[in-house]
Amino acid sequence: MNLAIKDIRHNLGRFVLTSVGIGMLMMIVMGMSGIYRGIIEDATLLIDNIGADIWIVQHNTRGPFAELSRVPQNLIHRALAIPGVVTARNFVQHTIQRRNKGKRLRMTVVGLDWPIDKGKWVPLVSGRILNQNHYEMIADKSLDLRLGEKIKLGKNTYTVVGITSSMISSGGDGIGFFTVQDAIEIQFDTSGEAVRLERISRSVRVEKSDLGLKQPSLIEFASQESSQVPALASPQASSVILKLGPGANLKQVMNIIAGWEDVSVYTSEGERQLLLKGSVEKVRKQIGLFRILLTFISAIIMALILYTLTLDKLHSIALLKLIGASNWIVLKLILQQALILGILGYGIAYFLGQKIFPRFPRRVILSNDDLLQLAIIVLVISVVSSFLGIWKALQVNPNEALN
């Protein structure tokens, strides 16, 4: 009979509890890797799925995902005049926090340039895409909104016509897809009193200006709605995204736009790297540091556990040596127990992770590469951790069995 298995059976309760403890520690290490993968996936989700070749953003900014960006909506007409550009779409993104059904609702609002972009690229779980320019939305299921539910945002009420899954922003908030015009109305929504005061303020400014004194009719004109005053610019979008046609020269189009002094331009991959090297970079380093620390802690704990298990059977090891057992048998006993402990711990970590990780507020993505890497790390830790116990076992004198 295998000596390692026989010893485990003799101390089954202690070994099982030890395996569970190691497994929970490994689950945290596994979770750290999954959280990092989830953050990367959430941060780059829109960039990867929206299907843009070029992002035009506010001058000297890094784009709508890394920081605030504002560009005029009519920029699309200038972009469409560039040879090779097939489509140009306005894009809006911002985050809101409201109350819905007595609960806090935090949502990242994404505006799609309807009818060019109706959200066909959004992976729907149920429902449909946006079929009209106003008052419809597609919601991620993490927002806890049901299909057909109506939600009031600002002065308007929007109907949930589609439900999507795993559409999360880099901040961990569920995404709600609206048309660009609706997204802008939600972003710049103001109360009736604030609108009234702004119109009065405009009238006063015109009245005090030379133009107002020469043309008194402009004073009344300035008190009208902003959309009816040509001098006031329409609300701005976050960026303009371009899709190039087959055979178009990406570098040439980029050079043309780079010559415009009011905007900055990035490729889709460039925008992705700017985001990853911004706010996500600090999170990556922090999680990486915790993962390294937990790995070292796991190795130390396993070494101490194996050393303790070895101390408990020093008399048995001395007896084995007394009857002629070689050092290899003793070494194999401890090494096999270390490997069994590591394998069981890894299995428990994976099983618990599958049950617990889906309940986390942030997505935890376990890739096969990460699981394989962790399995190798666990194997190395098991072997290295056994060295302390092996060293102690090899120091045992066979004559101690006679004491």
SS3 195: helix
Interval 220-235: pLDDT, tens: 555 555 555 554 456 7
Tokens of 261: 């002094």
Tokens of 52: 């843009």
Find the helix or strand (DSSP H, E) in which 99 lies: strand 85-100
- Domain enclosing residue 36, as ranges: 3-43+280-402
Sorting pLDDT into bands at 50, 70 and 90, what band is 345?
Answer: confident
* Residue 272 pLDDT > 60: yes
Helix axes 368-394, 314-322, angle to 10 degrees: 70
Q: Is residue 317 situated within a structural domain?
A: yes
Tokens of 283: 């999170």
Number of domains in the chain: 1
* Residue 192 pLDDT > 80: no
Q: Is residue 171 situated within a structural domain?
A: no
User: For the CA atoms of 367, 369, 373, 375, what is the dihedral angle to 10 degrees?
Assistant: 70
- Pick from 62-66, 294-298, 351-355 the range whose average pLDDT is largest: 351-355
Helix axes 12-49, 3-10, angle to 10 degrees: 100
Per the CB < 8 A criterion, the answer to whether 105 and 97 are in contact is: yes
Q: Is residue 232 situated within a structural domain?
A: no
* Residue 395 pLDDT > 80: no
SS3 53: coil
Tokens of 19: 């395996």
Q: Give the integer Cα–Cα distance in Å for 213 and 188.
A: 31
Q: Give the integer Cα–Cα distance in Å for 340 and 332.
A: 12
* Residue 132 pLDDT > 70: yes
Q: Is residue 284 situated within a structural domain?
A: yes
Q: Is residue 137 situated within a structural domain?
A: no
Q: Is residue 29 situated within a structural domain?
A: yes
Helix axes 12-49, 268-276, angle to 10 degrees: 140
Contacts of 249-256 with CB under 8 Å at 24 or more apart are 249/84, 250/53, 250/54, 252/84, 253/54, 253/82, 253/83, 253/84, 253/85, 254/54, 256/82
Sorting pLDDT into bands at 50, 70 and 90, what band is 196?
Answer: low
Sign of CA dihedral 378, 383, 387, 389: positive
